Structure 1
């Protein structure tokens, strides 16, 4: 089993993958970039970093390996521990290259230094996009002289007398028609104003009485709070076993329930579901310490 393969798979779907007792690989989204020196355009990507303080087992990696390899959660955790021990031993004498992720090494203070592999893009939105190179654009810097408008000279000619008379007659006719139209519009406005006053008087004098008014109905609407943070107790191949697990957890005081089937066809059962991530994380630690160390946190909005 190659541990790096499963870490790579999870980084495409999650922003953080923790390797228990070793550290966490965290991704940060970076937008598209332009390199003015090489004239290249790079698509958006996920940059991978390493945090050696993230060592607590959240169950994500072990649960994924158990489902993919069809083994128990305990065997998957053991396989992870063996890979971690191997990495730690190799780091004492040389650098450790993790497939597609990058290279791990120790500095003078015996701290782990991570150099990511920038050729792999874990951002699924940028799938199929590659770096594009474009030739430099040359700017034309010569000053353009302003254009001087050319005015054309129009020769003046005398206007015949009959054209002047025709123009004067047309103006007088237009003024006469405009005056008549204005008079007609004024008459229509006065008629409409009188009709509107009559209608207002009728409306004011009318009285509307409802003898049997409808009773008032008070509706109490309870807004359901979304609880996307679930503490998973287990995933079962048979529904009967999942229902049996729910009854056992409810007998212990948990608000257990079945939240559906995962992509591997297993029915998932939860201890509790929460609306707040911090509350869910604190209860996860309590359950791992007192009830089941195999419990893990699932972030999923239920329909």
Structure 2
């Protein structure tokens, strides 16, 4: 039994997944981060940890295995217990147990569990499609030395003695103030003329539009009624096939999935501007996870589960 596969499926949806009589995998949301030393940008993610103190069976893992494999709940618990005994046996022999896409578990010298998380998979569904980004170093030129050298050659300071020796500075300042005031007055007048012109043009356009609408109202011919058979999808659990920057690309993917028998559709753009295409939407998490498991096993290992309340979308 590939226990790590079932655990990995559940980590997308839940913050903790317990292996009875062994321990619990915990997830915690981590914000986006920047490594100043390497200029690397990391997207938001879920960090995974392990706590061997939490071993009480909450039934989550066993229920999921029972639903996927179509076996009784008690048989699923027996399979988990058998797998746990095998894991403990390998650990006591000094071997490392690898949970794919989750991390490695070993025993230390004191017989305590050490967990080293793997970072190959981001369990935060909001960050789907985002990866780390390395930015090139920004080079900044410093001009302070050049400016100091220029000031030594061309003094920029006007001292009181220089103002007395050059009285035309005073008249130049007066002229500058006069030009500024005159420019402001003429600019204000010009802006008022433009606004008045735009207002008249807008009123004229509205009059022409009203006339055309009135004329079109009397020339409309009644159209035959059309009856549409509309099928609505509902449910807050969506199995996502992919997200696309260009919305037109969604149509071909939806056509392919419908040809394979899925009730595929697009559920709009997420907060990153990516248009999401789903295999289908489902009322319960159990139903959606069963479909997700089958899709990832047979068709698309990158498919993921989105839990989101959406308005019903007609197809």
Please give the TM-score of this superposition, normalised by the length of structure 1: 0.49
Q: Which is richer in helix?
A: 2
Q: Which has the larger radius of gyration?
A: 1
Please give the TM-score of this superposition, normalised by the length of structure 2: 0.48
